[in-house]
Structure formats: C-alpha cells, structure tokens
Structure 1
C-alpha cells in the first residue's frame, strides 16, 4: 500500500492533455479552466481502450460525485468489455453496509479521509471482482465544509490488482475551487486521469519484467 499524497502530476502520464490537466489541478485551477484542457469523455475513452487492450476490468465507488465517474466510463461505446459494476454510497451507512467500510473508521476518520476512500476502493474491488477500482468522497459544497476540510476537498483512491493477485492502493487528497458542479466535474476528470496514469505505470512495470 502506498501512503496518501496531495494531488500531484505524475511523470508516467502519456497523454499531453492528461498531464497538463493534472498539473493544473495541482495548482488549483477552477473546474471550468480544467475542462478546457481535457474532458471526461477524452480521458475515459483512453482508459477504456487501455483496459480492453490489457484484458482488465474496472469498478467505481463514489460518494460526492454521485456516479459521475461510472457515467463517464459507460458513456464510451464498448465499455461493457471492461466495466464491472458501480457503487454509489452517499451515506456513511451505505459505505459500511454495501462496501464494508468499518464503522469505527468512519467514526474516527470521517467520510472524507484517506482511510475511508481506501476501504471503499478495496470493498468495490472485491465485490465486483474487478482488476481496478476508483473511489471518491468529498465536500462539493456549497455547505458542509470546515477549517480542516474546506469545500472542494475530495479524497480519492485507486486500487489495482496485478497478475499475481496482489493489490496496490494509492490515495490522494485533492482540492478544487469552484461551485458544486465545477468541483464534481473536476473530481471526475482527475479520478479518470490518475486511473489512466496508474494503469500505465502498472503495465509499464509488467512489460519490463
């Protein structure tokens, strides 16, 4: 398992648009500015293509985005070849009952935390029997923020199961400026972009063995 990190760009990203997007997200561009660099459909199309080429499947576990990541993926023709299932767990009860997030973790860490999104991703991965999972939990606004977790704070996690069955988990805390729609849209785009990045890293490592 990898330690959580603040939103960052990854040198492994192959697409110029995706790389520019992640750099822009890191420095806090607004959702509408980020949308000018790449769209969920562009990134989702690349992700679906890469998953299909590698014979991999993906699942999603979403809270604040309400199924937006799953919608972006399933908008792509042919996504049925790689999309396993979607879980929208908006309440803490749903996170616990559907995805198996420990109630003690939800109480101690809060829904918008590394521990919770990692548990969401792992729960989705196992329940969907998929090879990759994306999870998100955040505060899209306009209310609900705090000094510790202001509006626009979104935690995300990505799980990847390798050919040996080993699972690696990455999580990041992101912050997106803008209104509710912009925060949700930017979250979907970033989650897809980093999923593509991690898939590329995993595949590159396998190719060099």
Structure 2
C-alpha cells in the first residue's frame, strides 16, 4: 500500500486533496478566533468555506427562495472578501453587506494568503520529495496536485451548502471547481514546484 501511494501519479492528487483540506482548516481556525457576531461566525464551518473559495477568486451564489423574505436574496453572486480587499463598491442589487459578513478584525489579505502559502508549499515539497529536476517535470507536478484540489473543490461545493427557508447559499459550482480547484492551485503550486527545481 505504501509503495502504491508513493507513485507520483497518486501522490500528487493526494497532496492536492491534503493541501485543500489544510487550507480550509486554517481559514476555519482564523474565523473562529477573528470573526464574531458576523454571518461568517453564525454559519461556521460553511461560511469559512465560502471565504476559502472567495480567497481563490470563486464567487458564492444564492439560489431558490420560498416566496417569503428569502426571495429578496435569490440570485446573488458575491465575493465580499475581494470587494473589501480592493475597496470595491457594493454591486447594485447585492443585499448582503460587507460589515455583516466580516468583522474586519482579520485583514482580508490574510485569507488570500492562506491558499497561496499552502499551495506553494505543497508544490515545493512534492517536487523535493519526488526529485523532479526539470521545468517540464515541475509543470507536470503542479498539474498532478491540481487533480487533487479539483476533486476536493468539487466535493466542497456540496458540503459547504447552507439552506435557509428554501434559499440555498453555496460556492458557485463551476467557479468553485475551475478557480479554487484547477486554475488557482495550478498557478500557485507551479511556482513552488519551479522554486524547488532551482534550489
């Protein structure tokens, strides 16, 4: 079993799943300590997951509604983390306020840094352990890691779903898989992979 797990084709995706999970758990820990009396605090662990997807440039969406008060929140698509970080104006029709979502105690850049650091380290360690020495080998290694993060991000879009009176709030399934699962992890882990081949 150990020899099977040590093959690069298996080890990369396993590291990808592990990196995604570790990044999420770190964001969850930060929100438990730093967020109080906010939507994030009230909806942990799901809202911590929304932040984790937001940090990787994937939006959170709202769908459904039962015809009551929740209907006003139907059809929202937001990344409040990025809005706050870049001081962007609230889009027309967005009813979820920035101050009710995040307290501001933890700088938004902190949340963005978590997946960057974790994915860079995952790429670096994977290449170091696998003795990859070429640029193309490093690129292939990052692709292998992204296979695991794509799987984890796919499952996460289901597990991080909240339903309130018919209103469903969750990471956007397509953006979650493409951004948090594939593009963001490949873009960052390849930097760690390349750094490992040059040191």
Greater RCO, CA 8 A, separation 6+? 2
**What is the TM-score when the length of structure 2 is the normalising length?**
0.25
* TM-score, structure 1 as length reference: 0.24
- Point out the structure with the larger helix share: 2
